[in-house]
Amino acid sequence: MNTEIILQTLKNTFGLDARSKVLVVGLGVTGLSVAHYLDQLSLPYAIVDSRIKPALMAEFIEQHPEVPVFTGGFDADAFNVATHLIVSPGVALDEPAILAALARGAKSLSDIDLFSRSVTAPIVAITGSNGKSTVTTMVGDMAKVAGKKVGVGGNLGVPALDLITDDAELYVLELSSFQLERTTQLYAAAATVLNISADHLDRHASVVDYANQKQIVFNGTGVMVLNVDDPMVDAMRQQGLGRSILTFGLNYKADFYIAKVQGGDYLMYQDQRLMPVADLPLEGSHNVANALAALALGVAMHLDMASMCKALREFKGLAHRMQKVAVIKEVAWINDSKATNIGACVAALQGYTHPLVLIAGGDAKGADMLDLVPAIKAKVKSVILMGKDAALIERALNGCVPTYSAANMQQAVKIAAGIALTGDSVLLSPACASIDQFRDYKDRGEQFTRAVLALSNAGKDKPVKNAHGKVSA
């Protein structure tokens, strides 16, 4: 990292220098990455967190014993002297202490702003309600197979600031609406909003407001990749006035689409046949759309087509995203714990043609569960509900399919095992956040996997390799 050039850029862009009083708000993964970044530049800062004991507190103090840390609330004195606020995505920008500091003249910036002004390699930026992590990983794999030195992260895995290296040729970032709403300096070479569905309405005023935050990803020039099957996304072409456009879609012919050729379905780029859909290793039509989006982004970055198709054929998928964990008595058990909103659950359901037993529920985050009903009526034979908003979902379903209640994941799996018949699939696709009962969606998926593998006949059935190539059963 060329610190002299970066420091000059930060001063010119944000008025940020050694005399500034930087307050990092939130000591989570992002906050820790910001701290490491500021240390490398020898810029002074303090940390504030509303929690009494943040999870990363001990690690931070061990690494940075000299940095002031304020916990147990948003200390007014810390905000009163701050010239710059770097607010983590997990902290709402309408916190009174933050609003008061901004009103006094403090400047707000994000870790993505800092990242964007610190790198010279092109950035691929990926957002949307669903599929972000899968598409980000696909594009990263494509770049690696094509021989590029690539950094992959952001909202997925490694925080953006921890990716910065002098030899990177490309960065591929997954970005959430919370990251984008506080970002002004992102000018990605290629960007996409994959889809829009109701999500995070506990933090965003409406779906329209949520979509407006998403389309910040199209600031600047370059290529915008649009999903023509999603009307809200397709309408964003009017906002990306400085960008050329590539499109993808399952239901309409686009630049990247699906066509039936000689009896088989193929991924297509304009009139070029790329590869059979059957060669994709992932289940569900939504993952076909993800592959099309990844190809469009790769073409925007001039990646070799043969390398991209090779990466898709070898793609292992991601843990907790349509991950097949076992096949027991000819019933497939699928972990889609990452489906933390209605759109993700609906996308998963629509990819199936055979009977499903669905395990759903958790914290609905203010979403209208009536939006789940059409897909459940069309695809699901029984629903097992658990978590904080189970009753909300049950009321929305209003008896359209049989429902069962479970107190915990172990009970949900046992109920599902008693319902599912040969040829069925049991799908954990909660349509809700996990924080009411679990540490996070990963913990929820891991508890599902353990419960499935504990079923009495699991050891007698064919093992299934998980997303990391390890035997799951």
Active-site residue numbers? 132, 155, 200
Q: Are the CB atoms for 382 and 402 separated by under 8 Å?
A: yes
Structure token digits, residue 331? 């019933």
Place of tokens 């630049």: 255
What 3-state class would DSSP assign to 469?
A: coil
Task: List the end-to-end C-alpha distance of the chain, in Å, as a whole number.
Answer: 44
The CA distance from 111 to 176, in Å, is 12
Mode of pairing for the β-strands spanning 331-335 and 323-328? antiparallel
CA distances from 443 to 57, 331, 345, 399 (A): 21, 23, 18, 30
Q: How many helices (H) and strands (E) does the chain have?
A: 17, 20
Q: Which two tokens stand for residue 324?
A: 């097949």
Q: Which residues of 54-83 are buried (b: 16+ CB within 10 A; e: fewer)?
A: bebbeebeeebeebebbbeebbeebbeebb
Contacts of 439 by beta carbon, 8 Å cutoff, 6+ apart: none
The string of DSSP codes covering 358-381 is EEE-SB-TT--GGGGHHHHHHHEE
Distances (CA, A) of 445 to 38, 249, 337, 362, 385: 35, 30, 5, 13, 15
